A and B are shown apart, each in its own frame.
Chain A
């Protein structure tokens, strides 16, 4: 039972354009959602998060949107840069103060110069 789903295994965009990565979830008990970025041979790096009580969080070129009624979140990267090419993981935390994160399977983003 996959509670966090990233339905697009890959995404390719042109440099300077917007990248939109999507994530769907099924568990209503998630209280925090996070995006991680992962380069080959490295561990995931935290990118941005959003609490379930908010619908938008912005940090520079990165914005995360949360639609609780649709159980959907998305990560927008504007403008996209070649250095953004990596695998992006959506993750969610179950309410209760645990460190346990439930991850999606990732979307490989390629930004073409």
Chain B
């Protein structure tokens, strides 16, 4: 069974640009969550999607947005990139919401903003 796939794995962008990251959950999983990992703040929750609906959102500015498609794949978008957006962005999937011990994480997308 294939794991959670995130593309691209590495990305370098310039301040002010926008970026789209993609996450393909494990086959059959319908819930997708996104996290940002930075050395100073650790892992911080961004969003949670289930059945194409955003169920929860973390404390991030409106520049961070996401969506989920009917096949459960998810994308997150960051507009007007800032240097502080440099981080590892992790996606996690689970069958349905409410069972956190069944969340499986992808390897992450390393975003560097210059």
Q: How many residues of A contact B (CB 8 A)?
A: 23
* Shortest Cβ gap from A16 to chain B (Å): 28
CB-CB < 8 A to A45: which residues of B? 105
Chain B CB within 10 Å, residue with most, of A44, A97, A104: A44
B104 touches A102 (CB 8 A): no
Band of interface residues on B: 20 to 34
- Cα A41 to Cα B100 in complex, Å, equals 22
Is A69 close to B, CB under 8 A? no
| A32-B101 contact in complex given A43-B90, A43-B106, A99-B55, C-beta closer than 8 Å | yes
A99 touches B98 (CB 8 A): yes
B105 touches A43 (CB 8 A): yes
Interface flags for B29-57 (1: CB within 8 Å of A; 0: not) read 00101010000011111001010000110
Is B66 close to A, CB under 8 A? no
- Of the candidates A34, A98, A103, the one whose C-beta lies within 8 Å of that of B56 is A98
| A99-B108 contact in complex given A34-B101, A93-B100, A106-B42, C-beta closer than 8 Å | no
- Of the candidates B42, B43, B56, the one whose C-beta lies within 8 Å of that of A99 is B56
- Of the candidates A42, A98, A99, A100, the one whose C-beta lies within 8 Å of that of B107 is A42
B45 touches A102 (CB 8 A): yes
Is A89 close to B, CB under 8 A? yes
Interface residues of B (CB under 8 A from A): 4, 31, 33, 35, 41-45, 48, 50, 55-56, 58, 90, 92, 94, 97-98, 100-108
